[in-house]
Amino acid sequence: MGGLMKTLTWLTDVHLNFLSKDEQQRFYKRIKDENPDGVLITGDIAEATNISDILLGMANVVNRPIYFILGNHDYYHGSVHAVRNKMLEFTDSNNLLNWLPQSGPQRLNENTVLVGQDGWADGRLGNYRDTPVMLNDSRLIEELFKEAILGRYPLLDKMQSLADDDANALKANIKDALKLKPKKILIATHVPPFKEACLYEGKISGDDFLPFFGAKVMGDVVSEFATQYQDISFVVFCGHTHHQAHYQPMDNLIVKVGAAEYYYPEIQEVVQL
Which chain residues interact with Fe ion by CB under 5 A? 44, 71-72, 240
Q: CB-wise, 14 or 185, nearer to Fe ion?
A: 14
Q: CB-wise, 113 or 118, nearer to Fe ion?
A: 118
Mention every residue, 6+ apart, whose C-beta is less than 8 A from residue 261: 242
Supply the minimum distance, in Å, between the C-beta of residue 107 and Fe ion.
28
Q: CB-wise, 72 or 117, nearer to Fe ion?
A: 72
Q: CB-wise, 171 or 240, nearer to Fe ion?
A: 240
Helix (H, G, I), strand (E, B) or coil at 255: strand
Angle at 203 between CA 69 and CA 158, to 5 degrees: 40
Mention every residue, 6+ apart, whose C-beta is less than 8 A from residue 252: 226, 229, 230, 231, 232, 233, 234
Supply the minimum distance, in Å, between the C-beta of residue 151 and Fe ion.
24
Q: CB-wise, 44 or 47, nearer to Fe ion?
A: 44
Helix (H, G, I), strand (E, B) or coil at 33: helix
Report how far residue 69's alpha carbon sits from residue 91's, in angstroms, rounded to the nearest whole number. Answer: 12
Instruction: Sort 52 into a burial class: Cβ within 10 Å, 0-12 / 13-18 / 19+.
Output: middle
- The answer to whether 52 touches 82, Cβ cutoff 8 Å, is no
Q: CB-wise, 144 or 232, nearer to Fe ion?
A: 144
Q: CB-wise, 72 or 106, nearer to Fe ion?
A: 72
Supply the minimum distance, in Å, between the C-beta of residue 227 and Fe ion.
28
Phi, psi dihedral angles at 48 (to 5 degrees): -55, -35
- The answer to whether 192 touches 213, Cβ cutoff 8 Å, is yes
Among 125, 95, 132, which Cα is nearest to 2's? 95
Supply the minimum distance, in Å, between the C-beta of residue 217 and Fe ion.
17
Q: CB-wise, 72 or 252, nearer to Fe ion?
A: 72
Residue 123 region by backbone torsions, left for phi larger than 0, else alpha for psi between -120 and 50, else beta: left
Helix (H, G, I), strand (E, B) or coil at 108: coil
